[in-house]
Amino acid sequence: MLSRTLEPEVMDTQHEAVDYDSMDHTAVNQSFSQEFLSALSRQPLSGKQASVPSVLDVGTGTARIPIAIGRQTDTVRIIAVDLSAPMLQVAQRNVIAAGLQRLIKLEQVDAKGLPYTDGQFDAVISNSIVHHIPQPIHVLREMLRVLRAGGLLFVRDLLRPTDAASVDTIVEQHAEGANAHQRQLFEQSLHAALTLGEVRDLLRELGWPPESVSQSSDRHWTISVLKP
């Protein structure tokens, strides 16, 4: 089994932010947004839920996920947070270019200590922040804290391959056309990712059913669960 190798928690240079944003994540982002909205549509209503669901996107990066969601529906309001100022600068340009300032609010926030009240959001989403965090349980615990009872937790991240050869295969298959730096970022992220078993152990520690997570592609796992 390939050991986990941590990568920097924050992409804190303009070059990294721009290079990351220029990578083609279209298919992944579209899949995430469609599956999230499908799960959200099945979410039972409660007296606490607003007519327009409030969504928190943790580790938004350059805001491509909330933009993909906003292009499919105008019935949500999204607070999208990230710790990296350069990523948020690119995100702001992307949100303005998409004309979605009304739906998406960007905030610089550390995911390990979210500045929101318990149960504030109807849904909490995250795409690819977990592998950046040395101790991901802290981020998952914060996501659950700010999610209302009956709210939807929808988290997706990379799945660490079993060996170096599998890493090379995935990079070759999914980073075709990327430059050397982008390929390096992707490879490092795969090494920093968690296995399905590791995610299930985290869920057990949090008191959540481990079957809430499943492998959702050749390189991703997904948590989709309603908070009791």
Give 159's DSSP letter.
B
pLDDT tens-digit series, residues 109-166: 999 999 999 999 999 999 999 999 999 999 999 999 999 999 999 999 999 999 999 9
User: Are residues 185 and 191 in contact, defined by beta-carbon separation less than 8 angstroms?
Assistant: no
Specify burial of residue 30 (Cβ count, 10 A radius: 0-12, 13-18, 19+). Answer: middle
pLDDT digit string (tens) for 26-39?
999 999 999 999 99
Q: Contact 69/37 with Cβ under 8 angstroms?
A: yes
Length of the chain (residues): 228
pTM of the model: 0.95
Q: How many CB atoms lie within 10 A of CB 45?
A: 10
Q: Which domains does the chain have, with CATH numbers?
A: 14-226 (3.40.50.150)
